[in-house]
Amino acid sequence: MILLGTYCFTTFPSTTSAYPSLPLGSYFDLHKPLQYSKPSKFTSLVINGHRRICDLFDLHQEQVPYEVAWSWQKEIVRDKRAQIEKEGDCDDTLIILQHPPVYTLGTASTVENLKFDMKNAPFNIYRTFNIYRTERGGELTYHGPGQLVMYPIINLRTHKMDLHWYLRTLEEVVIRVLSSTFSIQASTVEGLTGVWVGNEKLAAVGIRVSSWITYHGLALNVTTDLSPFKWIIPCGIRDRQVGSIKELLVREGVGHGRADLHHLNDASLIHITHKSLLEEFSQAFQLEYSYKSVSSTMLYERK
């Protein structure tokens, strides 16, 4: 089981806002509706036949502050628990997005894995810097632009009431994405979580389950600037490295023979990866997406 309460270590920006308790920046305009992707032929080919409905909030082009997404997840979990109590079941939900630079600590984390004093954070080039201790399982990690984060909020009673199975299935989703889209052969490592290519970790997994409803999830490095990982001991593992899809494609050869990946810029690489993640996730969990939209104002009001 994944236990422990929640508390935060935070430093807030000096800029004022209508919501001073939350970190804001140019990446998140309170009065601008968040963009989301409409259903495409790509997705509809995957979803056919009878499958469970999954509400999809596709914000993969947005950098949503961590605390906002965290609070949103917890509210969705509360709503689903109430719905199950009343109706016996609930639809599943998937959120996919990016975060501005942030470190998060799981229930197993210690501040000893930070290589700096929290009062003197190294990222003075960013407008904000935050460190959050969360209730998810796992150790210390970094989230930032170029990293796709998936937050599945699903009712395991209707899938499989087995946390080991759920974690392994999330890892398998990433492994299939890397193989089918980029011809990158990834794997898991016995005794460790996440998805690995050789000695490099490309995806981290950390979850929380409440009454068999999941939240938190996985983070896949696509075009991520990996330098912030140098300031921590990622996942508490000292003898392994962190990698990204972009870095692998450049270093090992474009797409391991996929010439069509040669001219992709960062935005295109993010978009292709996100589409593949959605496809593989829907197949792995047998879900049919119902696309939803949300405004940034609504997200802040929900806190």
Residue corresponding to tokens 């996919």: 96
**Is-contact 170 193, C-beta < 8 A?**
no
Give the C-alpha separation, 155 to 213, whole Å: 5
Across 127-232, the runs of DSSP E, i.e. the strands, are: 130-133, 141-143, 147-153, 195-197, 200-210, 213-221
- Supply 270's token pair: 């993010």
**Of 135, 153, 131, 122, the residue nearest 66 (C-alpha):** 131
Give the C-alpha separation, 238 to 99, whole Å: 25
The DSSP call for residue 172 is H
Give the C-alpha separation, 55 to 288, whole Å: 8
- Supply 260's token pair: 């069509």
Give the C-alpha separation, 221 to 184, whole Å: 14
- Supply 14's token pair: 């000096």
**Is-contact 91 290, C-beta < 8 A?**
yes
Pairing of the two strands 141-143 and 195-197: unpaired
Catalytic residue among 8, 54, 90, 235: 235
User: What does the chain come to in residues?
Assistant: 303
- 54 among known catalytic residues: no
| Catalytic residue annotation | 235
